[in-house]
Amino acid sequence: MRVVDTGRLRLEPQTAAHAEAMFAVLGDPALYEHENEPPSSVEWLRARFGRLASRRSADGREQWLNWVIRLPTGELIGYVQATVRPGGGAAIAYVLSSAYWGRGIAQQAVEAMIAELVEHHEVRSLSAVLKRRNVRSLRLLERLGFAPASPGHDGEDRVEPDELVMRRELRVT
Ligand SMILES: CC(C)(COP(=O)(O)OP(=O)(O)OC[C@H]1O[C@@H](n2cnc3c(N)ncnc32)[C@H](O)[C@@H]1OP(=O)(O)O)[C@@H](O)C(=O)NCCC(=O)NCCS
């Protein structure tokens, strides 16, 4: 995994050393309006980031790629992640501190990750699973060129009834 620098944002491969600063970012209650919950302690998060630094699923089949998002000021403001499967499909996810919502930063960060996935991880198609009521996430995916997956074409993504799968095929020249 590489550092991805857009000039305005820096995506750094996530390691246990990011746990303390990310614990503060991930304590933001606004992030959990639709799903999930904040990490229970810095120690828990450090252990998790340590495990994720293997960059692989337990069975070794998938690459698990996580980058934290850093501003030029040095502040960490969220993360982007990709689960890369054999065959070139990747499921993506993203979280941005609510203090920075509404500025196009998430879009920039996810676009930078997608370019990196295409150029360096042989990714050819993308998917994202979201809660249907998560309108911010839906709008972000639409801006990024994703469209709802046709019924029955959820691929390897496991989906609950209140969730939606969005997909984007990448044209690689
Ligand atoms: C999902 C999430 C990352 C979206 O963040 P966001 O700030 O809304 O997304 P963007 O960075 O693309 O910003 C888009 C907004 O900035 C505005 N904007 C301003 N300048 C912009 C620019 N140059 N480019 C794009 N958008 C811009 C857009 O108009 C848009 O506004 P709108 O929300 O009123 O339509 C954020 O809400 C989040 O972290 N949520 C909690 C975690 C979560 O739900 N993750 C997804 C799980 S599936």
pLDDT > 70 in the chain, percent: 97
| Confidence (pLDDT) at 154 | 63
**One-character DSSP codes across 32-99:** GSSS----S-HHHHHHHHHHHTT-B-TTS-SEEEEEEEE-TTS-EEEEEEEEEPTTSEEEEEEEE-GG
The pLDDT tens digits of the residues spanning 44-95 come to 999 999 999 999 998 999 999 999 999 999 999 999 999 999 999 999 999 9
Topology (CATH level 3) of domain 4-169: Aminopeptidase (3.40.630)
Give the Å distance between the CA of 61 and the centre of ligand 1: 31
Give the Å distance between the CA of 120 and the centre of ligand 1: 26
Report which protein residue has its CA nearest ligand 1's atom 34: 102
Supply the pTM of this predicted model: 0.94
The label of the residue with tokens 């691929």 reads 155
Give the Å distance between the CA of 88 and the centre of ligand 1: 26
